[in-house]
Chain A
Amino acid sequence: MLREPIGETPEASAGAAPARGPEAGDETPAREDASRVNRFAFKLANVNGTGSASANSLLMQAIFRMGIPVSGKNLFPSNIQGLPTWYEIRVDKDGYTARTARFDLVVAMNAETYEDDIDEVRPSGWVLFDSSWPLKQAFLRTDVSFLGVPYAKICTENFAEARERTLMKNIAYVGTLAALLDIDMGVVEDMLREKFAAKPKLMASNAKAIRLGYDYAKEHFACPLPTRLEAMGGPPGASPTADKILITGNTATALGALYAGATVAAWYPITPSTSVLDAFTELCEEYRVDPETKERRYCILQAEDELAAIGMVIGAGWNGARAFTATSGPGISLMSELVGLAYYAEIPAVIVDVQRVGPSTGMPTRTQQGDILLCAYASHGDTKHILLFPANPEECFHFTVRAFDLGERFQTPVFVLSDLDIGMNDWVVPRLTWDDSYRPDRGRVLSREELDALPKYFRYSPEDWQGVAARTLPGTSAKGAFFTRGSGHNKLGGYTERPDEYQEVMDRLARKHWTARNFVPPAIVETRPNASFGVVTVGSCDLAVREALAELATNGIVGDYLRVRGFPFGPEIESFLRRHDRMFVVEQNRDGQLRSLLTLETGVAKSQLFSVRAYGGLPLQAAQVVREIVHQIRETEKERPA
C-alpha cells in the first residue's frame, strides 16, 4: 500500500479542539475476525454545515443497498454552522449494529478535531485525511496507516464556486471510501441519479467529485482495504436488507400519526422532536390535501409554547379529533400542568417525547432515557399515565398508532417515549406494513341516538369493566352536554368537595390505569436454558443489550432478556421479575429510572435489581453493558462467603 507523504509544517489549522470526555466501553470485541469483511465501524469527522450530512447518508444508504446490516449515528452539536460533527457507521453482517466506539477507519475532515479523531482509530486501523495541508507531526501514530488525499486542492482545481468547493470535498471522500471499502459504484451512481433526477447540474458535479475521490484512491492506495464490504444475499430479495427500509424514528412516528388518522397536531419546535412535525406536515401535504379545492383535512398548529401545544391537543381531543404533540424533556416539564387536567378530566391526548439529555436544557443533541419517571407521573396530585417505549422506528410507527387507540379507549394522555438516537438516526428496520382492515378504536363515545335512548346522561358514570365511562362530544345534543372540569368532581360530573365522592372518582382512575396493563404492547421476553440472571431493559438499549448478551453467552455467562414496551407493567413483566433472583436493569439515565419504576409498581425487591446505566449522551454500546455486568457479577461473588 502506498502512503501519502506527510508534510513537515506543524499546523494543519488553527483553533482548539473541543474538550471531549473520556468515553467508556471501547473494549476488544468478542467476535474478532481477521478479514473484518462486513464487520467493522468507521467514523467521519466533519464541520457542521459543510454538506457532510448528505455525503454520509449517501454512504450509509449505499451500504444498505448492498444488503448489509448497517447503522449510522449522527453526533452533531447544538449549532447550525461551524462546530465539529461526527457520523459513525457500523456494519455487521449478523445485525449487531448498536453503537460502537471501536473504529477501524476514521475519515478526518475537520482539522480542529484531528487529535481526538486520530486517537480513536484502533491499532492497525486507517486514517483518511485531507492532505492539501500537512498533518501536524504530533498527531502521528505509528500503529495506524495514514491515507492522505488532497481534497481541497483537487476541488479547487475542478470546481469554480467557493461553496461548491467546500461541499464537493465531502462528496469526494465518498468516492475514496467506495474504492477503499469496495462499495459498489453502480449503487452509488444509481443513488445519485435518483437523488438529483430533477437537478442535472448538481448530479454532474456530485458524480464528478465522487469519481475524483475514487480515482485518486485507486491510483495511490492498495484498494480495497482488508476491512471492506461485500454485497450480501446473492439473488435479489434474499439479502438481509431486501425487505427492509432505512428510516428515522421521527419519520416513522409521523407515519404512525398519519395512519392513525390524527387530524390536529400542535407543537413547539425542539430538538430532537422537530422532525416529527416536519415529516407529518410533509405527509399531510401529500395525502391530506384535496387536489382540486386545495382544502386540508388536517390542522397543524405551531403553538407559542408547550403549555399551549398540549392545551390545543387537549381541546381537540375533547372535541373528538385525534390530536397529538411531539416534544422533548423541556416541553414535557411545561406540559405537565395540563397533562394532569387531561388525566383528571379524562381527555385523550398523544404526547411523543423524543428524549434528549437533561436536566434543564441539558445537551439538546445528545440522547438519553431521562424522562421515564417524569412521564409516568407527570403533573401534581395522584396521576399515572400510559407509556409506550419503542426501541426502533418500526415500533415508533406501530406504537404511535396504538397510542391513539389507547388514548381514546382509556380517555387519557398517552406518552410515546422515543429518544434522539431512535428519532433522528437512520435505522434499518423491516418494511412497515399496514392492515387495511384497521379501524380506530374511538373508545366509548355516545351518539345522539344512544343518548336519546338513555333516561339521563352523566359523564363519569356508569363505568365499564375497564373503568371507563362514556363521553359525549360537544355538538351532539343538549342531553349529552356536561361540564368538563379539572376541579373536584363526583361520578356524575358535578363539582364536589366531598371526600367520598372525590375518592370514588380517583379510585376508578387508578383502576382504569391498572386495566391498561393488558392493552399496552407486551414486553419482549427471551429466555435461555441455564440462564443465571435476567437483563431488563427498555427502548433504544435493545440492540446493545442483545449484543452484550450474545457476547457474554460466548463466555459462559448466560442471561435471560426482557424489554419493557409499555407502562403500566403487564403480567409478563411481573412474572419475569418473580422468576429471577438477580436482574440487571440496563438504561440510559443516571438514576436508574426504570429500575425505580419497577420497584414502585411491581412486587420486585430492590435487592433483586442491579443497575447498569450509561448516560453520557451517546447511544449505548454493548461493550459498556458487558463490562458493567461482568464487573457487578464479580463484585457480588466477592461478597459471598466461599
Chain B
Amino acid sequence: MSYIKKPSARNPSLRPNALGLTVRDYEGAMSTLCAGCGHDSITAAITRAFYELDVAPHMVAKLSGIGCSSKTPTYFLSGAHGFNSAHGRMPAILTGASAANRDLIYIGVSGDGDSLSIGLGQMSHAIRRNVDALYVLENNGVYGLTKGQFSASADPGSRSKHGEPNTQQAIDPVLLALSLGATFVARSFSGDKGQLVPIVKAGLRHRGFALVDVISPCVTFNDHEGSTKSYRYTRGHQEPIVEADLVPPAAEITAEYAAGAAVDVRMHDGGIVRFTKIPEGYDPGDRDAVVAYLRAHQSTGAIPTGLLYLDPSGSEMHAANRTVATPLAQLPYESLCPGAAALDALQRAYR
C-alpha cells in the first residue's frame, strides 16, 4: 500500500484557497494501490489542481470504469459524488450525468484497458459528442487489476514481465482523439507533476471533452526492462515539447512576459491558456500539423508530452443541443408537463 503524502504543517498547501479550503479538503480515502503505482501520483496531481482552481468539491462529479486506475476517484475529493461504474462504460454514464446537470464539473478517470479495449467505442463517442468533461486516461500498457495482460496501448515489441513480446499494434489515444475531433488533447507522465497539474487545471477549465493521456507505470506488472511504459523508459524518452499554464480569468494579463514569447489562447470562461514553450513552427491549434508532428517524432521512439492540441471554439454537447442553462434535473415539473388542456387539444390529431 502506498500513502499519498499528507502535507505537513509547514506545507504551503495548508494555506486555505479562495474558498477557505486546504489541500486536505480535496483528498479522499487512503489509496489501496501498490506502493509506487503511477496512478497515485496522478491522484495527487488531480487533488492539487482542484485545490488550486478553488473548486467547491461538492460541485464535482467524479466517475470511473473498472481497473486499478478506475479505483482512484475514491482517493481524491471525498466531498464530491463518485461513481465507480462498470468496465468501459463510464463515458456513457458521464454523458448522461452531464445531460442531466450541466452545472457540475465532470472528471472521468479510466485506464488503457478501460478506454482502449472494452470502452474504446464509448470513449470515442464521448469525444465526438464533445461532452464537457476532463477525461484522464491512466495509461500503463497493461491490465493492472487482472494481473498484467497486455493492453491495447502496449507498443509492438514491448516485453511482458515474463519476457514475451507484444506482437500487435498499439492504439495511441492521443492520435485517436485528434482524429475523432477532440478539442483538448494532452499527454503527460505521472512522474512529472510540474507538467501534469497545469494540464489537469486547463482540462478542467476547458469547455468540452479534454483528453489527458498520462503514462502511469504499473510497478507490479510493467516496470521492467523491455517495457515501453516503465518509469525508466518513460523518463528516458519523454520530451515535454509544449509547456502551458492556466491564467485564471481574474488575473489580468501583465506585460511581464516578453511579447512573442508566449501564445495565449482564451478559454470560454475568460481564462487564458498560456503556451510558454512550443517547438519551432508548432501550432497547438492546427490539428493536422499536430498529428504530423506527433507521427514524425513518435516514430523515432520519442514520447512528446504537454498540452498538444487545443481548440476552445468547439461547441460542447449542451451548446450543440441548445439545452437551457438550468440543469435539466432541476427544472420545475410545471415547466415540463403541458397539462390536461394541452393533452385534450393535441388528441384532436388522433381523431
Q: Which residues of A contact B336 (CB under 8 A)?
A: 258, 261, 263, 288, 297
* A481, B82: Cβ atoms closer than 8 Å: yes
The answer to whether the Cβ of A140 comes within 8 Å of any Cβ in the partner chain is: no
Q: How far is the CB of A317 from chain B (nearest CB, A)?
A: 8
The answer to whether the Cβ of B81 comes within 8 Å of any Cβ in the partner chain is: yes
* B96, A432: Cβ atoms closer than 8 Å: no
Q: How far is the CB of A14 from chain B (nearest CB, A)?
A: 41
Max count, chain A CB within 10 A of own CB: residue among B56, B89, B340, B350: B350
Q: Which residues of A contact B325 (CB under 8 A)?
A: 295
* B329, A296: Cβ atoms closer than 8 Å: no
The answer to whether the Cβ of B225 comes within 8 Å of any Cβ in the partner chain is: no
Q: Which residues of A contact B94 (CB under 8 A)?
A: 315
Which of B59, B93, B335, B351 is within 8 Å of A475, CB to CB? B59
How many Å lie between the Cα of A311 and that of B104 in the bound state? Answer: 18
Q: Which of B72-80, B274-282, B284-292 forms contacts with chain A?
A: B72-80
* A338, B89: Cβ atoms closer than 8 Å: yes
Q: How far is the CB of A267 from chain B (nearest CB, A)?
A: 12
Interface bits B35-61 vs A (CB < 8 Å: 1, else 0): 000000000000000000000111101
* B329, A478: Cβ atoms closer than 8 Å: no
Q: Which residues of B contact A301 (CB under 8 A)?
A: 95-96, 99, 129
Q: Which residues of A contact B331 (CB under 8 A)?
A: 263, 297
Q: How far is the CB of A465 from chain B (nearest CB, A)?
A: 26
The answer to whether the Cβ of B171 comes within 8 Å of any Cβ in the partner chain is: no
Q: How far is the CB of B21 from chain A (nearest CB, A)?
A: 10
* A434, B340: Cβ atoms closer than 8 Å: yes
Q: Assuming the A-B contacts A295-B324, A295-B325, are A318 and B97 also in contact, with contact meaning beta carbons closer than 8 angstroms in the complex?
A: yes
Interface bits B91-112 vs A (CB < 8 Å: 1, else 0): 1111111111101100000000
* B340, A435: Cβ atoms closer than 8 Å: yes
What total of chain A residues lie within 8 Å of the partner, measured CB to CB? Answer: 72
Q: How far is the CB of A238 from chain B (nearest CB, A)?
A: 16
* A311, B89: Cβ atoms closer than 8 Å: yes
Which of B74, B104, B121, B129 is within 8 Å of A474, CB to CB? B104
How many Å lie between the Cα of A475 and that of B321 in the bound state? Answer: 22
The answer to whether the Cβ of A141 comes within 8 Å of any Cβ in the partner chain is: no
Q: Assuming the A-B contacts A299-B99, A475-B101, A481-B80, are A486 and B85 also in contact, with contact meaning beta carbons closer than 8 angstroms in the complex?
A: yes
How many Å lie between the Cα of A487 and that of B84 in the bound state? Answer: 8
* B79, A290: Cβ atoms closer than 8 Å: no
Q: Which residues of B contact A188 (CB under 8 A)?
A: none
Q: How far is the CB of A430 from chain B (nearest CB, A)?
A: 10
Which of B63, B86, B343 is within 8 Å of A432, CB to CB? B343
Q: Which residues of B contact A338 (CB under 8 A)?
A: 86, 89, 93
The answer to whether the Cβ of A255 comes within 8 Å of any Cβ in the partner chain is: yes
A288 to B, closest residue via Cβ: B336
Q: Assuming the A-B contacts A245-B347, A484-B83, are A259 and B338 also in contact, with contact meaning beta carbons closer than 8 angstroms in the complex?
A: yes
Q: Assuming the A-B contacts A304-B125, A483-B82, are A263 and B328 also in contact, with contact meaning beta carbons closer than 8 angstroms in the complex?
A: yes
Max count, chain A CB within 10 A of own CB: residue among B101, B104, B323: B101
Q: Assuming the A-B contacts A321-B328, A478-B57, are A315 and B86 also in contact, with contact meaning beta carbons closer than 8 angstroms in the complex?
A: no
Which of A307, A319, A341 is within 8 Å of B329, CB to CB? A319
Q: Which of B314-351 contact A (CB under 8 A)?
A: 318, 321-325, 327-331, 333, 335-340, 342-344, 346-347, 350-351
* A319, B125: Cβ atoms closer than 8 Å: no
Q: Which residues of B contact A259 (CB under 8 A)?
A: 337-338, 343
The answer to whether the Cβ of A79 comes within 8 Å of any Cβ in the partner chain is: no
* A323, B96: Cβ atoms closer than 8 Å: yes
The answer to whether the Cβ of B122 comes within 8 Å of any Cβ in the partner chain is: yes
How many Å lie between the Cα of A299 and that of B324 in the bound state? Answer: 10
Which of B59, B92, B343 is within 8 Å of A312, CB to CB? B92
* A295, B93: Cβ atoms closer than 8 Å: no
Which of A65, A295, A312 is within 8 Å of B322, CB to CB? A295
* B86, A475: Cβ atoms closer than 8 Å: no
Q: Which residues of B contact A189 (CB under 8 A)?
A: none
The answer to whether the Cβ of A37 comes within 8 Å of any Cβ in the partner chain is: no
How many Å lie between the Cα of A473 and that of B59 in the bound state? Answer: 11
* A319, B96: Cβ atoms closer than 8 Å: yes
* B339, A436: Cβ atoms closer than 8 Å: yes
Q: How far is the CB of B108 from chain A (nearest CB, A)?
A: 11
How many Å lie between the Cα of A305 and that of B91 in the bound state? Answer: 13
The answer to whether the Cβ of A640 comes within 8 Å of any Cβ in the partner chain is: no
* A297, B95: Cβ atoms closer than 8 Å: no
Which of B81, B91, B96, B335 is within 8 Å of A297, CB to CB? B335
Q: Which residues of B contact A296 (CB under 8 A)?
A: 321-324
The answer to whether the Cβ of A314 comes within 8 Å of any Cβ in the partner chain is: yes
Q: Assuming the A-B contacts A65-B351, A304-B121, are A440 and B89 also in contact, with contact meaning beta carbons closer than 8 angstroms in the complex?
A: no
Q: Which residues of B contact A436 (CB under 8 A)?
A: 339-340
Q: Which residues of B contact A288 (CB under 8 A)?
A: 336
Q: Which residues of B contact A263 (CB under 8 A)?
A: 100, 328-329, 331, 336
Interface bits A283-298 vs B (CB < 8 Å: 1, else 0): 0001110100111111
The answer to whether the Cβ of A182 comes within 8 Å of any Cβ in the partner chain is: no
Q: Assuming the A-B contacts A65-B351, A295-B324, A474-B104, are A312 and B335 also in contact, with contact meaning beta carbons closer than 8 angstroms in the complex?
A: no
The answer to whether the Cβ of A313 comes within 8 Å of any Cβ in the partner chain is: yes
How many Å lie between the Cα of A478 and that of B57 in the bound state? Answer: 7
Which of A320, A337, A484 is within 8 Å of B82, CB to CB? A484
Q: Which of A313-334 contact B (CB under 8 A)?
A: 313-321, 323
* B340, A433: Cβ atoms closer than 8 Å: yes
The answer to whether the Cβ of A545 comes within 8 Å of any Cβ in the partner chain is: no
Q: Which residues of B contact A318 (CB under 8 A)?
A: 83, 93, 96-97, 100
Q: Which residues of A contact B92 (CB under 8 A)?
A: 266, 303, 307-312, 315
> What are 13 A-B contacts defined by CB distance under 8 Å?
A64-B351, A263-B328, A287-B338, A293-B324, A294-B322, A297-B328, A311-B85, A314-B96, A315-B83, A318-B93, A321-B101, A474-B80, A475-B81
* Residues on A facing B (Cβ under 8 Å): 64-65, 245-247, 251, 255, 258-261, 263-264, 266, 286-288, 290, 293-299, 301, 303-305, 307-321, 323, 337-338, 341, 431-436, 438-440, 472-478, 480-487
- Shortest Cβ-Cβ A-B pairs, 7 listed: A315-B96, A311-B92, A478-B79, A312-B96, A321-B100, A474-B81, A320-B329
